[in-house]
Structure 1
Amino acid sequence: MHFIKRKNKYTYWIFMFGIIASLMFVLSACGSSSESKEIVVTSFGGKYDEVFTKYVAKPFEEKNPGVKVKLAPYTGIAKLSQGGGSSIDIVQLDDFDIIDAANKGLLSPLEKKDFTSWDKLYEQAFLNSKDGKVFGLTNVFGAWGIAYNPEKTTKPTSWNDLWRTDVKGKVTMMSQWIPDILMTQKATNTTMENMNPVWEAYKKITPSIAQYYSSFSAPEALFKSNQVVMASWFDGRALALKKAGTPIDFVIPKEGGILIRSGMSVVKNSKNQDLAKKLIDFAMTPEAQQGFAKELYYGPTNSTVKLDGDVADDVVYGKDKISGLTTPDWNNIFTKREEWLLKWQEVTSR
């Protein structure tokens, strides 16, 4: 009888030990999963990566122990379409690429319930597909206008000043760039239904162009070497060059400029959907966006961000500055884009 009781006692403890061991194994597995959690974000390289790491990636890791943010090289729509984004959670792209990718079914829709910053963002920060759903949030604003060397030429007041005879051979514009086409459309006072004046304007200016550049950084070397005195360019890059000592100023002509938007989206096949949305939300915080404004001269998309001094004056900051720039209707432009770019190639070939 005592033997039976002792046996039952041993059986009980063996049973309990098994349960405890199983629980410890499960908890250990969960801990390992958390420790190895990695979220992959594509980026633009260079200084942008440094600032993103400083104000977004590292602080996010600190607030989320066990999470590692890994930056990956820039990945465009073509690569995503071919399955090249299998290991990517978040893509950072220009607004038109995010909208295009959304229309191609490559991204996950975003909803208000997943973002604490949603109601604080300017309306221009939301990147919508053709059916009106939000697929991307803009984390930085910029302006597309005219940069010029004030020591070599007078301040441009119109986009038509790129055609001035006194700057002939000293002007650069971007190759196959829709914002330049849109501003030429405004300068020639025409519409999307009649683009002939735009193409005639490009025919006229092409012999006077120093070069049509394809890299956003290209005008930097052209200004430094005095090969150009005027360029269609980003405000942020022009300001950075000015701060470094190059004689250069930036202006939005009387016809206006283009609102440049760089955004973040969750890749449809990401295995870390919730964490990816959490990181995007973090990039919309005032602390992160203040860092981008101070170090890269990009304007904040969160309306609660406070800037002062030269930074507030220099960047696209506040409702008035943002609404004063043209926000392209990309879903409409996509119906014309291929035709426009083919025509641009035709009229600018020398």
Structure 2
Amino acid sequence: MTMKLDRRLFLATGGTAAGLALAGGMPRARAATREVVVGTWGGDYERLMKKFVAPLAAKQGVRFVADVGNAPARKTKLIAQSHLPTNSMDIACLSNDDMAEVAALHTLADINETQVPNIANVFPNLRKPYAIPHIYSALVLVYNPAIVPKPNSYADLWKPDYAGKIGFSDILYIYNIIAAAEAHGGKPGNFDAAKKPLLALRDKVKIYPSNEAVANALHSTEIGVTVMWKARAFQWAKNGVPVKFSVPDEGATPVVFEAAMTRNANNPKGAEAFLNAMLDPQAQLGFAEAMGYLPTVSNAKLPKKLDEELGFTEAQRKNFFIPDEAYMIKTTSQWLDWWRQDFRG
């Protein structure tokens, strides 16, 4: 969900027919309707949207229509159609990194809080003017207690106890860099502090091509610790991987799956009603119980056991390390080059 779009081609088209063809064609004409088209992921996400959110929106006369695809295709379509009278999507769902990128291109409408009243319950550090936070998790230390002692901070990974027992997921390269930066005094708008410590750690770390490969390595005891989304590690534990979680003292970095109304939405009123339904506490709880991702609203109370397994305390939420959006947009591709050429080799 965090793949980056090379958008230069689409910006170069200037919204022309060529660009629109690359984006999947011209938006289809829609008569005045309460239909709301939501650009979203398929699989469990779409299924749970139909199960928990669509019925709430239907009570407001809004009919949910899913436009299923991967995030790069959705970003392409959003950008290519942004200068048309209407967009084929009323709502786009993206991760926070991807959403920040398309927001910077003025493709989204700001949230009208009077029309999306449930936004009042959103945790303050997850609020943005251009998108609602739908579900979230955060980067934590995930470890096999039979292999390594419990780590309490990212900085612990540089201790001898963990040498040769650390595994990183290659696709989470920017978050591995963020963890290293946090451990060594980095700031939300500058990760340079990560470079020297990561290079010092390079020979003591194994790199795996995917999150699933990291899970297999933990299960086989090839490694003893990694950094990973708590929701993903929760799913691993349910599937028999012998892991526990530790929230780093430096502050966990959240990943938020967001939803936003397109600037040129065909049905803005319906889109606002649907966004409000996405923030309904019961709908949020349904996603948490099924996927392991947390509610973003304070009035969705998790059952005690689930909260202990998935949740973060108020103090931990206040301590979240939230990277600067402008810095991420500007430097992520540069960090990818550094990761591939200097660290991974």
Deviation of residue 83 (structure 1)? 4.0
Deviation of 1:280 after TM superposition, in Å, equals 0.9
- The equivalent of 2:36 in structure 1 is 39
Contact 1:210 1:227 in 2 (8 A): no
**Could you tell me how far 1:236 is from its partner in structure 2?**
0.5
2:185 to 181, 189, 211: 189
1:210 to 198, 206, 209: 206
Residue 251 (1) aligns with residue 246 (2): yes
Gaps of 5+ in 2: 1-29
Q: Which residue of 1 aligns with 2:4?
A: none
Correspondent of 2:136 among 136, 141, 158? 141
Partner of 2:52 in structure 1? 55
Q: 1:73 aligns with which of 69, 84, 96?
A: 69
User: Would the aligned equivalents of 1:153 and 1:167 in 2 still touch at CA under 8 Å?
Assistant: no
Deviations 1:80-134 (A, max 9, x none): 324499422211111122122111111122111211212222212322xxxxxx1
Q: Which residue of the partner structure matches residue 100 of structure 1?
A: 101
Distance 2:229 2:64 in 1: 32
Contact 1:199–1:347 (CA<8 Å) still a contact in 2? no
Cα distance change on mapping 1:344 and 1:223 into 2, 3 Å? same
Contact 1:144 1:257 in 2 (8 A): yes
For 1:330 and 1:194, the matched residues in 2 are separated by 11
Distance 1:68 1:182, change over 3 A: closer
Instruction: Kindly state the Cα deviation for residue 59 of structure 1 after the two structures are TM-superposed.
Output: 4.1
Aligned length: 310
Counterpart residue type for residue 103 of structure 1: A
Residue 114 (str. 1) matches residue 112 (str. 2): no
Distance 1:176 1:299 in 2: 20
1:313 to 1:193, Cα distance in 2 relative to 1, 3 A = closer
For 1:158, the equivalent position in structure 2 comes to: 153
Q: Secondary structure at the match of 2:276?
A: helix
Q: 2:189·2:323 contact (CA, 8 Å) conserved in 1? A: no
Confirm whether residue 269 of structure 1 aligns to residue 264 of structure 2: yes
Match of 2:24 in 1: none
Deviation at 1:225, TM superposition (A): 4.1
Find the counterpart in structure 1 of residue 91 from structure 2: 90
Q: 1:66 to 1:204 in 2, by over 3 A?
A: closer
The answer to whether the 8 Å contact 1:176/1:345 transfers is: no
Deviation by residue 1:143-181 (Cα, 9 ceiling, x = unmatched)? 111111122222112213334554416512444633332
Equivalent residue, structure 2, for 1:15 = none
Q: State the shift of 1:254 in Å.
A: 2.1
Deviation for aligned residue 1:285: 0.8
With over 3 angstroms needed to count, the CA separation of the structure-2 counterparts of 1:217 and 1:86, relative to structure 1, is: farther
TM-score by length of 2: 0.79
Q: Is contact 1:156-1:251 (8 Å) kept?
A: yes
Residue segments in structure 1 that go unaligned for 5+ positions in a row: 1-31, 128-133
Hey, what's the Cα distance between the residues in 2 that align with 1:320 and 1:309? 17
The answer to which of 105-114 and 81-90 deviates more is 81-90
Alpha-carbon shift at residue 192 of structure 1 (Å): 7.3
Q: Which has more radius of gyration?
A: 1
**Displacement, 1:217?**
4.5
Which deviates further from its counterpart, 246-255 or 320-329? Answer: 320-329
* Mean Cα deviation higher: 46-55 or 301-310: 46-55
Alignment check: 8 A CA contact 2:92 2:260 kept = yes
* TM-score (ref. length: structure 1): 0.78
In the alignment, the residues of structure 2 paired with residue 286 and residue 227 of structure 1 have an alpha-carbon distance, to the nearest angstrom, of 40
2:325 is matched with 330
Q: 1:277 to 1:311 in 2, by over 3 A?
A: same
